[in-house]
Amino acid sequence: MDALPDHMRPERSFQGFILALQRFWAEQGCVILQPYDMEMGAGTFHPATTLRALGPKPWNAAYVQPSRRPKDGRYGENPNRMQHYYQFQVIMKPSPPNLQELYLKSLAAIGIDSAVHDIRFVEDDWESPTLGAWGLGWECWCDGMEVSQFTYFQQVAGVECAPVAGELTYGLERLAMYVQGVDRVYDLNFNGREGAEKVTYGDVFLQAEQEYSRHNFEYADTAMLFEQFKMAEEACRKYLAAGWREGGNQKEHLMALPAYDQCIKASHVFNLLDARGVISVTERQSYIGRVRDLAKACGEAWIHTETGRAA
Amino acid sequence: MPDLLLELFSEEIPARMQAKAADDLRRMVTDKLVAEGLVYEGAKAFATPRRLALTVHGIPARQPDLKTERRGPKIGAPDAAVQGFLKATGLKSLDEATIQKDAKGDFYVALIEKPGRPAIDVIAEMLPVIIRTFPWPKSMRWGARSAKSGSLVWVRPLHAITATFGLETEEPDVVKFSIDGVEAGQTTYGHRFMAPGAISVRRFEDYEAKLKAAKVILDPQARKDIILEDAKELAFAQGLELVEDQVLLDEVSGLVEWPVVMMGSFEQEFLSIPDEVIRATIRNNQKCFVVKDPKTGKLTNKFVLTANIEAPDDGKTIVAGNERVIRPRLSDAKFFYETDLKTKLEDRLPKFEQIVFHEKLGTQAERIKRIERLAAEIAPLVGADVEKTRRAARLAKADLLTEVVGEFPELQGLMGKYYALAQGEDASVAAASEEHWKPQGPTDRAPTDPVSIAVALADKLDTLAGFWAIDEKPTGSKDPYALRRAALGVIRIVLENQLRIQFNLVLVWAVATFFVKKRFGVDLDDLSKIPTVDEHESKLAGPIAVVASREVTEPFNIGEVMRDVLAFFADRLKVQLREQGARHDLVDAVFSLGGQDDLLLVVRRVEALGKFLDSDDGKNLLAGTKRASNILAIEEKKDKRSFDGAPDAALYKLDEEKALAAAIDQVKREASAAVAKEDFAAAMSAMAKLRPAVDAFFDKVKVNDDDPKVRENRLKLLNEIRAATRAVADFSRIEG
């Protein structure tokens, strides 16, 4: 750590902060993935978590995932609420016995010393109705602020996790704001430089927040989105149906991943429609149920793939 | 005698589960010990965020030996029987059996001695079972072992088990068992951050002391005491006063093993937010206490936090961090509050048209309209101004759509009151916003202002009528719409305010609204506008006529629903009286008279009846009435007929008959007059006059006379006793 140039230090730059986390988890044996190339509401949707959490084969991965929450847009006017932000996601299957210790060490790696800060594990049962998933764990507090979620997955996509995977989700902007000591996300130092060379989070994302807020709340084409939802739903079912094969003495599936992409798509389109306020309270439940049905069918397919099933 | 020490060391246990878990552990272990013949002297359980611990002292070192006798075959019984006996009892030959005698002859008896086992072995067997079957509200699997089914489930991953057993004077033994890879031993761990190392423990006394040295306070009560005392002192030192909060204290004490209490502050400007909003923000989100100025009773800009560590900088970083978190939270709350103030409550109402209250009961807007209408009917009955009541009912739920209530649902009603006052509403209209939700539970108070009472009753009666109309009644333990609470709320409002309401006259409006809506698709008041409604049906607009139209059963029968709802009130009233230790069977005795829809009168009648039945006159009269009923029941069955109708005075043969007939006449008259005046005590006194005549009758008169005419007449007279007592209650429904 001492060898790091100043502008790469996690407490100085947002990118240094991300790199420090990646480096830490790489050292724990995780594969460091890049973000999934689709819009999604949370890092959990990444197939590296949703699908890889299923099945008996070990899997350790970490990655940054841009998270799109269309409803949370505030036209760049709220100091910490955005429709696009970063999550850092770690998944370890099976959950190692020292996962809590590893998590605390990762905090130390980004400059949060548990001798000075009050770190707490506060009950938080996680449930994702759209993914048909639930787990038990905590929200992790640092001096009264929720900085991460810590979950032992019990079920994902309607499938019992065997073995259980441990999942960590860090809210990167919030943590970096705390470490850098700024109160407004757009004031985060992104590249760790000063003066003319300094690039802030606002320089990178403020305009995007304004534009997407406009899009999400006012202009997103709802007729098209309703159509897209249907198309994604149909495509998902079509690919799922086409993927089944009778192989050897068991059924196998050959297209779980492309089908799951359509499930991700449907979920994001639903979130956009929700932000546009065109889905009523009763319909809402039914849309969530439709996405969940897709997720479950994908999970079922996945555990019949080469990677998803027992050896 | 030896002691047992048990600790189950895990990842962080949810605060809300700790107290019950400690209790369950103590109960399960001690119950099992007793069941195994190991009667202990005392037991105490503890919980921290990371451990459940139990100490049981004074356990016998061994189970007592068990001696049982088993009776065998008779002497000289066939060999098969003898062999069976030997096999069952484990005796080698009949020489080991004794011989006993009884009336039927001599037979073999085996004395079986089951030697007691060492307690430690018994404990080693029972603990894994207890751990595997522990009743956590939610439990989970974890780690590599969760790949296979049947792996251990616990509230969070279980890491270590300490279990020792032994005498104070000796080195205790480890209770040897292992469960899913966790081996019981005598090693535990200190505070997660301040003393994470392994600690070897022997027995409870050194366990508790060593934990304390390792910055863990085992006893939750001790942690609570520290937090409360330190928090009070911090506030006091500044001339302020802590706002005590038991629920929060319980929770916070379950979040720390080593409580360190500190004070932080926030900007003065946030004090423009209502105190309750500040408190909800700081309490719910940050689990911190708020502090008030004892002179004004208003909150100050301080808060008290409880950390889990002693930090080298005396907690400066922690306090600063918490302040940094609380600031944006309060900033959000202030923004919400100020945004809310910009919209008048009535301007929010159209939004309710989009919000479904219940699929079959329409939108919130429709519901509010119904409540307003019903509240206006109730207002004159409870002395409330009709216009104010209407306004109050219209606005009472508008705050559900405000930002603050969206964020803090527990502030519903209260915020409505603030916003109503801020827009210049009448004080009783504003108060109804908060009061009409009450009483929320047994410890909550009932509203007392007439406007609030009218709206509260209308709200609850609309709910009850609606769910009955769609046949969604509570069943067993399922009551998803809290209908029991609504009915109990009505009862409490009526009784505590001594309200005289004939519920049938009110309920009919509530039920008819749903009936008309379902049958004709219009509001009750618009019924006359429908041309297709024939004359008969248009009468439905008059609610009393509705009750009369009993033959209409589509979409439901109004009279039946009303009866059902009233019966539900009767049930709730019984529960309520039972909880107060009053006799609930008397409620049935009064309700089964029929037509009892004034809850206050029902209760007064029940009270008077209870007092009467406590007196000798009451007891004897009850006995006499029951005797009369029993005889009648038998004879009615025998003759397959009832003995209704007035007895014939000409057929009286004995003085006692005549005296009873006279007494019945007099008592009927007096009791009915007293009941008409609602003087139930006097009605009971009148009843008492019946007693000597009834006693004398049974003493001297043979009911089943040989002359069938006399017999019939006497049975009719008995029936009159029953009828007379119905002036006050249906005595046949009284127990005892």
CATH code, B174: 3.30.70
* Nearest residue in A to B256, CA atom: A120
What are the structure tokens assigned to B318, written together? 């922690």
B424 in any annotated domain:
yes
Cβ contact, residue pair A125, B141, below 8 Å: no
Q: Which among B307, B325, B341 is the end of a domain? A: B341
- CA A266, CA A244: separation in Å to the nearest integer? 22
Burial of B133 per CB tally in 10 Å (0-12, 13-18, 19+)? exposed
Give bridge partners of residue B108 from the DSSP assignment: B99
Amino acid letter, residue B595: G
Q: Chain A partners of B142 at a C-beta cutoff of 8 Å? A: 94-95, 152, 164, 166
Are the C-beta atoms of residues B61 and B40 closer than 8 Å to each other? no
Q: What is the DSSP string of B68-110?
A: EEEEEEETT--HHHHHHHHHHHT-SSGGGSEEEEETTEEEEEE
Strands B3-10 and B158-166: antiparallel
- What percent of chain B is predicted at pLDDT more than 70? 96
Give bridge partners of residue A210 from the DSSP assignment: none
> Collapsing DSSP states into helix, strand and coil, what is residue A156?
strand
- CA B181, CA B117: separation in Å to the nearest integer? 26
- Give pLDDT, residue A232: 98
Residue among A14, A54, A119, A125 at smallest CA distance from A296: A54
Q: What per-residue string of b and e applies to A133-150 under the rule 16 or more CB within 10 Å gives b? A: bbbbbbbbbbbbbbbbbb
Q: Which among B86, B114, B142 is the end of a domain? A: B114
Are the C-beta atoms of residues B252 and B48 closer than 8 Å to each other? no
Q: Which among B189, B213, B237 is the end of a domain? A: B213
Q: Which residues contact A207 (CB under 8 A, 6 or more apart)?
A: A76
Are the C-beta atoms of residues A264 and A130 closer than 8 Å to each other? no
- CA B306, CA B288: separation in Å to the nearest integer? 7
Q: Chain A partners of B284 at a C-beta cutoff of 8 Å? A: none
B666 in any annotated domain:
yes
Amino acid letter, residue B82: V
Query: How many CA atoms, within 13 angstroms, populate the side-chain half-sphere of residue B692?
Result: 6
Cβ contact, residue pair B312, A115, below 8 Å: yes
- Give pLDDT, residue B542: 52
The tens digit of pLDDT for each residue in A64-98 reads 999 999 999 989 998 888 999 999 999 999 999 99
- CA B481, CA B395: separation in Å to the nearest integer? 22
Contacts 24+ apart (CB under 8 A), B664-667: B664/B690, B664/B693, B664/B717, B664/B720, B664/B721, B664/B724, B667/B724, B667/B727
DSSP structure class, residue B475: B
Domain count, chain B: 5
Please tell me the distance in Å from A161's CA to the nearest CA on chain B. 8
- What percent of chain B is predicted at pLDDT more than 90? 55
Cβ contact, residue pair B143, A95, below 8 Å: yes
What are the structure tokens assigned to A193, written together? 């430089």
pLDDT band at A310 (very low <50, low <70, confident <90, very high): confident
Do B190 and B303 lie in a common domain?
no
The tens digit of pLDDT for each residue in B400-420 reads 999 899 888 889 999 999 999
- CA B533, CA A292: separation in Å to the nearest integer? 47
Is residue B536's pLDDT more than 50? no
Are the C-beta atoms of residues B259 and B305 closer than 8 Å to each other? no
**Residue at token pair 């007439």:** B450
B234 in any annotated domain:
yes
pLDDT band at B369 (very low <50, low <70, confident <90, very high): very high
Q: Give the A:B interface size as CB pairs under 8 Å.
A: 118
Q: Chain B partners of A144 at a C-beta cutoff of 8 Å? A: 286-288, 305, 321-322, 325-326
> Collapsing DSSP states into helix, strand and coil, what is residue B677?
coil
Query: How many CA atoms, within 13 angstroms, populate the side-chain half-sphere of residue B734?
Result: 27
- Give pLDDT, residue B735: 81
Do B142 and B24 lie in a common domain?
yes
> Which CATH architecture describes the domain A222-302?
Up-down Bundle (1.20)
Mutate to test the interface with B, among A99, A136, A138 (most CBs of B within 10 A): A136
Cβ contact, residue pair B328, A118, below 8 Å: no
Please tell me the distance in Å from A145's CA to the nearest CA on chain B. 6
* Nearest residue in B to A184, CA atom: B328
Give backbone dihedrals phi and psi of A191, rounded to 5 degrees, phi first.
Answer: -105, 0
Please tell me the distance in Å from B326's CA to the nearest CA on chain A. 8
Amino acid letter, residue B374: L
Give backbone dihedrals phi and psi of B603, rounded to 5 degrees, phi first.
Answer: -65, -40
List the domain range (segments joined by +) for residue B283.
Answer: 220-341
B594 in any annotated domain:
no
Q: Chain B partners of A72 at a C-beta cutoff of 8 Å? A: none
What's the CATH code of the domain at B686? 1.10.730
* Nearest residue in A to B313, CA atom: A116
Is residue B124's pLDDT more than 50? yes
- CA A58, CA B707: separation in Å to the nearest integer? 97
Over residues B222-245, the mean pLDDT reads: 97
B693 in any annotated domain:
yes
Least confident residue range of A38-42, A210-214, B489-493, B693-697: B693-697
- Give pLDDT, residue B691: 86
- Give pLDDT, residue B544: 45
Which of B49, B139, B147 faces A162 most closely, judged by CB atoms? B147
Do B330 and B360 lie in a common domain?
no
Q: Chain B partners of A178 at a C-beta cutoff of 8 Å? A: 321, 324
Least confident residue range of A301-305, B460-464, B697-701: B697-701
Over residues B29-56, the mean pLDDT reads: 97
Do B110 and B130 lie in a common domain?
no
B392 in any annotated domain:
yes
- Give pLDDT, residue B528: 64
Is residue B135's pLDDT more than 90? yes
Sorted by where each begins, the domain ranges of chain A are 6-216, 222-302
Do B442 and B555 lie in a common domain?
yes
* Nearest residue in B to A140, CA atom: B12
Strands A166-171 and A84-93: antiparallel
- CA B19, CA B254: separation in Å to the nearest integer? 9
- Give pLDDT, residue B530: 59
Least confident residue range of B274-283, B574-583, B713-722: B574-583
Length of chain B: 736
Cβ contact, residue pair B143, A119, below 8 Å: no
What is the overall mean pLDDT for chain A?
94
Length of chain A: 311
Do B484 and B551 lie in a common domain?
yes
Tell me whether B365 touches chain A (CB under 8 Å): no
Over residues B692-698, the mean pLDDT reads: 89
Residues in B 32-61 with any Cβ partner in A closer than 8 A: 49
Strands B241-242 and B289-292: antiparallel
What are the structure tokens assigned to A199, written together? 């690039």
Q: What is the number of helices (H) and of strands (E) in chain A? A: 8, 11
Q: Chain A partners of B286 at a C-beta cutoff of 8 Å? A: 144
Do B627 and B527 lie in a common domain?
no
Element (H, E) at B300: strand B299-307
Is residue B230's pLDDT more than 60? yes
Do B205 and B251 lie in a common domain?
no
SS3 track for B358-390 = ECCCEEHHHHHHHHHHHHHHHHHHHCCCHHHHH
For the domain made up of A6-216, the CATH class stated in words is alpha beta
B592 in any annotated domain:
no
Is residue A156's pLDDT more than 90? yes
Are the C-beta atoms of residues B509 and B373 closer than 8 Å to each other? yes
Q: Strand B260-265's sheet: what is its strand order? A: B241-242, B289-292, B299-307, B260-265
> Collapsing DSSP states into helix, strand and coil, what is residue A86?
strand
* Nearest residue in A to B358, CA atom: A282
Do B56 and B163 lie in a common domain?
yes
Q: Chain B partners of A162 at a C-beta cutoff of 8 Å? A: 146-149
Please tell me the distance in Å from B286's CA to the nearest CA on chain A. 6
Query: How many CA atoms, within 13 angstroms, populate the side-chain half-sphere of residue A289?
Result: 6
- Give pLDDT, residue A135: 97
Do B630 and B531 lie in a common domain?
no
Give backbone dihedrals phi and psi of B116, rounded to 5 degrees, phi first.
Answer: -65, 150
Burial of B268 per CB tally in 10 Å (0-12, 13-18, 19+)? exposed
Do B204 and B234 lie in a common domain?
no
DSSP structure class, residue A189: B
Do B32 and B146 lie in a common domain?
yes
pLDDT band at B527 (very low <50, low <70, confident <90, very high): low
B593 in any annotated domain:
no
Cβ contact, residue pair A143, B14, below 8 Å: no
Residues in A 107-146 with any Cβ partner in B closer than 8 A: 114-123, 125, 135-138, 142-145
Q: Chain A partners of B307 at a C-beta cutoff of 8 Å? A: 118
Residue among B479, B427, B428, B195 at smallest CA distance from B309: B195
Please tell me the distance in Å from A207's CA to the nearest CA on chain B. 23
Please tell me the distance in Å from A263's CA to the nearest CA on chain B. 27
